[in-house]
Structure 1
Amino acid sequence: SARAGGLDASGYRPALSSTGFFARDGGAVLAPGAVEIALSLDAADDLLVVRDPRTGAVWPDGGRLVDARLTGTLGIAVGLFGRVELGAQMPVVLAQDGAVQRVRARGDLASTAAGDLRVGGKLRLLGSDALALSLAVDAAAPTGSADGFAGGSIAVTSRVVVGGRVGRFAFGVDVGYRARERAVVGDLAVDDEIVGGAATAVAVVRGRAWLVAEANAAVAAGGGGDTLRPVEVLAGVRWRPRGPWLVQAGVGAGVTEGYGAPRARGVIALRYAPVPRPAAGPRAPVRVVRRPTPPPAPKPPVDSDGDGVSDADDRCPLAPEDRDGFEDEDGCPDNDNDGDGIADRDDRCPLEREVVNGVDDTDGCPDEGLIELVEDRIVLPNRVLFDTDRARVKHSGKKVLRAIVELWRQHPEWDRMLVQGHTDERGDADYNLWLSQRRAERVVRELVKLGVDPAKLEAQGFGETKPVAHGDSEEALQKNRRVEFVIIERRPPDAPGTGESGSGDGAGDAPAGGPRPVSPPGLQGS
């Protein structure tokens, strides 16, 4: 006689990780070291029914073997090496009802039951998140209840997965083979199957909300009627609130009369899925210079006024030098109250320090420039090089880049510069990281066009990971959407090539300390 049991009537198996959709997988894998935990609930109606072979209608008396079912699935997934993803899931039937008298001599359908433990993995064979080819394998252990139609058979499923992402769109397509123990329920005999499906998602709010749709199908490897060809479609939303949580909800229905393809299904899932952060960029090399032990210091020369300039070189041996940054080696005091290197007799603003930026640098008055030099970092105050979601330098931004090149020429001791790209927090974190890298590389190409040696430049994008302003205001978002330039390597002052620049602009005479806005000569007001 036929044996009842060994069949999982659910037909729905959640994807192992957030790289998938509802039940279908994507081609990508989790980032190395990433760990996700998920709880999924699905409620389905008419999962396993007996139909009249003449009319196709469900038998009115005892025809619904599994009428309604609520299943909960707890899962965990982890990413390894950037190419491997492993996971495990344990489903439990939380509640169900149905009539089993047509296929079972005695007993009722258990209202709760354990399902088959599922362990699986995915290996990315080729490509990246933009387009990847992967191999997915999972195995089911017979921990489920055969009497509750919740499993109880050994099954191994192997699938080839192709998936990717283009702009706001993501997709996944897979096909494979499920080898399983034969299960018989009444006139229904389920054996090996060809399985597959397709899914797509579109971001309606970048990095926050997506619309998702998918189709799942199975066909008996040995052929058979519609009962052995379950097909189901699902559609819904995926939403990431602030923090590491991901919420997913959807509804669906079977489009054939196959087992496990319900009249209606509802799915909701909560997943702990932190967004991976980019690793820190390479640090600038630290150079250690070993200097020989200096010989004993000679006797100090005579310095009558004690200003540090020996009388032999002191034009004013009885009047101490005032060390204001202007002709400090002649030994004479200078009347330069603001210390900007311009004597008060020639200074139009004797109490305000001149800003050396290529704009009227000899009048002694501060001027606003296009860029600022703060220690080893060039910053762009209120200057936006790119439009939102674009990597092409704005026309106004090219003036800023010419200012940076002019400053580079004024500092021959600079040997290497890191161009950093940053974005605001709007949108998907992975997309922002990709966009910031493109922006940094675009700026490097523009600097090379303007004459900077490409061997002295390096580009690195940081996405939204290093904000300088917090909040959702347009002002804060604009401040975070920036490009910064960091001098990561200098040559010693006495090294070859660090003398006065050929432009003769006197950039080396600028006062040290504090922010210094800089722009090329003649750009002010253009």
Structure 2
Amino acid sequence: MLTVGLLLVARPVGAQGVALERMELSPGAAGSLLLGTGELLPEGALRLSTVGHYQHNPYVLSRGGAVTQIVGNRLTTHLAAAYSLTNWLELEAQLPVVALQRGEDLVDKGIEPPVRYGLSTPTVGARWGLLSQRAERWADLALGLNVGLPFGNASGLPGEAGAHVTPQLMFGRRFGWFRLALEARALLRKKSLPPADSTVGRSEVGSELRFGAVAATVGRRLRWELNVVGTVPLVNQPRSLELLLGPRYLLNPSTELFALGGVGVGIAPGTPLFRVMVGSAFGGVTPPRLKGESSVNCSMGLSHTAEECPDLDDDKDGVRNEVDKCPDKPGTLERNGCPPQDSDGDGVEDALDECPKEWGEWRGGCPMPDEDKDGVDDERDSCPTLAGPPETRGCPRSDQDGDGVEDDVDLCPKQEGEPKLQGCPEADRDGDTLANRFDSCPDLPGLLTNHGCPKYEVPLVEITPTQLKLTSKVYFLTDSSRLDSRSNEQLNWVVKVIKEHPEIQNISIGAHTDDRGFPNANLQLSLERARAVRQYLIHEGVAPEQLEARGFGGTQPIADNQLSIGREANRRVEFSIIWRE
């Protein structure tokens, strides 16, 4: 709205004069705010900038030691835009709007005073990329062409008319954390002579060559750049040189703040004693990184990969990402940042395990020898050449009644019975037609549909051939092996069933977790939870030798860990019946 208002009240184009915007911005600002570095914006990137620009004594005359201020103070707002159609073609535009311009009263010397505000010289242009380090070339190289449009009226100094054209050659290269670049451009414009009736001598204004060099830091949220810009006029005009230094700060991935300040040497029109620029940019402002360089996301704490930030230590294990073979898992320096691996879970890490794919506890992680392959290792097998079960120390069984239960463990060796009842026939103490071993209330007649319990009794445990099936979960405190008091009623039922079923001689308590967290930590937590349940049952009167505790971590899921309801189902405790055969 400010720009439109200034244009409406500005004087006509016929009042054009010397363009004082010697220091133009680089709208794409890839590498430098002022100079082209040969690097273009990535394809599809749009950068919009607004800059407040103050110049002190941008146009003065020096004669006999006296300095005459034709333009002493100039405050300009620059609006700039750059859009990259492809990785090798970038379009750009700039609109400088003079908000304040003042000088001495020189009307009596034939010099009209400058207009106080209005539009300076707008420019449009394009840049063509020839080489790019992002494409793994050795440097950045680009050509550019800017056109200054003859629409400005803010200088008020007669003598220049028509458009000017500025071809550019830009070259640069990044060296890790810093960049060096050179720019050469030719400002081609119509030559203007000072008025013959002026009482103050002025130099000619016309075409000139401009050269610049920049050194800038890269790959950080806060960056610095140093620019040196000089001109070699092609007419009778003094030379000039400027030095500018300033920071650039990436506020967020789409917003950048920056400032530049510096001094000028020379009295060529448009070269101030000093100038200060402060501005902001929006859109494609996050600088891209080259292969092997650190991403700016590293300094901003944004999402990144380990490869983008080689100098960080994402897993906090003391090993930098660049050399960490397992950057997302804490490890040790000796293992190149990886944790100890134990593929077969036998407690011997793979680096020391002679049999890393096979569980074993004998001689460096290998299984014990078992000649007859009966599951009883030779050191404990009384019959190492004849297959037999562990209960008979690896020797074949003897079964007189043919019920599948060996005589030395058969409670009824001469009466064919049920193997699950240690060789004795089925029994039904309460006479409700449900065998004791499946009856949740073996001493109270009940209903078959209520697991053998009376209809007024709600059984919390169902006995199956393989396990004590719970009707509710066993709860623990979060990330702890401490039992939640909500589990007491359920576990008391487990105690009741075990006591009322002497035929159930052994129970394996298995605790499981979901897959979140580290596998070894989950394995340890599940084992501690199983031990906590075992201790509770012992405290309530179950014989310790009847119980064993095992932790499985997240190795045996029963539901999808990608869903919260699945993870809840996987966090469980199971009571498996170990029947003596």
When normalised by structure 1's length, the TM-score is 0.51
Contact 1:6 1:184 in 2 (8 A): no
Contact 1:116 1:152 in 2 (8 A): no
Contact 2:111 2:157 in 1 (8 A): no
1:80-99 pair list within 5 angstroms: 80-99=85-104
How far does residue 395 in structure 1 lie from its aligned partner after superposition? 4.3
Name the structure 1 match of 2:177. 168
Name the structure 1 match of 2:78. 73
Contact 1:70 1:94 in 2 (8 A): yes
**2:57 is the alignment partner of 1:42:** no
Contact 2:56 2:273 in 1 (8 A): yes
The two structures, once aligned, show a CA RMSD in angstroms of 3.4
Name the structure 2 match of 1:390. 322
Which residue identity does 2:221 align to in structure 1? R
Name the structure 2 match of 1:140. 148
Name the structure 1 match of 2:193. 184
**2:224 is the alignment partner of 1:211:** yes
Higher relative contact order (CA 8 A, sep 6+): 1
State the alpha-carbon separation in 1 of the partners of residues 239 and 93 from structure 2: 27
**2:282 is the alignment partner of 1:272:** yes
State the alpha-carbon separation in 2 of the partners of residues 390 and 268 from structure 1: 37
Contact 1:7 1:146 in 2 (8 A): no
Q: Describe the superposition over 1:122-156 as per-residue Cα deviations: whole angstroms up to 9, x where unpaired.
A: 11101324731111211111111165249754111
Name the structure 2 match of 1:195. 210
1:366-377 pair list within 5 angstroms: none
1:114-513 pair list within 5 angstroms: 114-129=119-134, 131-145=139-153, 148-149=156-157, 152-186=161-195, 187-203=202-218, 206-222=219-235, 224=236, 227-274=237-284, 387-388=319-320, 390-391=322-323, 393=325, 395-397=334-336
Name the structure 2 match of 1:28. 39
Contact 1:15 1:21 in 2 (8 A): yes
Name the structure 2 match of 1:468. none
Q: Describe the superposition over 1:6-43 as per-residue Cα deviations: whole angstroms up to 9, x where unpaired.
A: 31123221111231423212221111111111101110
Q: Which runs of 5+ in 1 are unaligned?
A: 279-381, 411-509, 516-526
Which residue identity does 1:215 align to in structure 2? V
Change (3 A) 1:94 1:401: farther
How far does residue 109 in structure 1 lie from its aligned partner after superposition? 2.2
Contact 1:68 1:98 in 2 (8 A): yes
Change (3 A) 1:179 1:403: farther
More strand per residue: 1
Change (3 A) 1:276 1:178: same
Q: Describe the superposition over 1:164-196 as per-residue Cα deviations: whole angstroms up to 9, x where unpaired.
A: 322221222111222112233453211111112
Which residue identity does 2:165 align to in structure 1? V
Contact 1:113 1:148 in 2 (8 A): no
> Secondary structure of the residue that 2:252 maps to in structure 1?
coil
State the alpha-carbon separation in 2 of the partners of residues 119 and 260 from structure 1: 20
State the alpha-carbon separation in 2 of the partners of residues 112 and 383 from structure 1: 57
Change (3 A) 1:383 1:247: closer
Change (3 A) 1:108 1:221: closer
Q: Describe the superposition over 1:389-440 as per-residue Cα deviations: whole angstroms up to 9, x where unpaired.
A: 6356464237569879x9xx98xxxxxxxxxxxxxxxxxxxxxxxxxxxxxx
> Secondary structure of the residue that 2:125 maps to in structure 1?
strand
Change (3 A) 1:24 1:389: farther
**2:34 is the alignment partner of 1:19:** no
Which residue identity does 1:65 align to in structure 2? I
Change (3 A) 1:102 1:254: farther
Name the structure 2 match of 1:64. 69
The range that moved more, 105-114 or 240-249, is: 105-114
How far does residue 221 in structure 1 lie from its aligned partner after superposition? 2.4
Name the structure 1 match of 2:549. none
State the alpha-carbon separation in 2 of the partners of residues 156 and 10 from structure 1: 14
Q: Which runs of 5+ in 2 are unaligned?
A: 1-13, 196-201, 289-313, 326-332, 344-349, 351-355, 358-554, 562-581
Change (3 A) 1:107 1:383: closer
Q: Describe the superposition over 1:231-281 as per-residue Cα deviations: whole angstroms up to 9, x where unpaired.
A: 111111111112411111121111223221111111111110345699xxx
Contact 1:26 1:163 in 2 (8 A): yes
Change (3 A) 1:146 1:269: closer
State the alpha-carbon separation in 1 of the partners of residues 271 and 323 from structure 2: 46
State the alpha-carbon separation in 2 of the partners of residues 41 and 229 from structure 1: 26
Change (3 A) 1:126 1:392: farther
State the alpha-carbon separation in 2 of the partners of residues 98 and 272 from structure 1: 34
**2:115 is the alignment partner of 1:110:** yes
State the alpha-carbon separation in 1 of the partners of residues 79 and 125 from structure 2: 14
State the alpha-carbon separation in 1 of the partners of residues 238 and 111 from structure 2: 26
How far does residue 79 in structure 1 lie from its aligned partner after superposition? 1.2
Change (3 A) 1:383 1:155: closer
Contact 1:145 1:152 in 2 (8 A): no
Change (3 A) 1:383 1:192: closer
Change (3 A) 1:389 1:110: farther
Contact 2:230 2:240 in 1 (8 A): yes
Change (3 A) 1:398 1:67: closer
State the alpha-carbon separation in 1 of the partners of residues 273 and 252 from structure 2: 35
> Secondary structure of the residue that 1:180 maps to in structure 2?
coil
State the alpha-carbon separation in 2 of the partners of residues 276 and 251 from structure 1: 23
> Secondary structure of the residue that 1:9 maps to in structure 2?
coil
> Secondary structure of the residue that 2:336 maps to in structure 1?
helix
Contact 2:20 2:155 in 1 (8 A): no
State the alpha-carbon separation in 1 of the partners of residues 238 and 323 from structure 2: 51
> Secondary structure of the residue that 2:251 maps to in structure 1?
coil
Change (3 A) 1:153 1:276: same
State the alpha-carbon separation in 1 of the partners of residues 128 and 243 from structure 2: 26
Name the structure 1 match of 2:495. none
- Give the number of equivalent residue pairs: 299
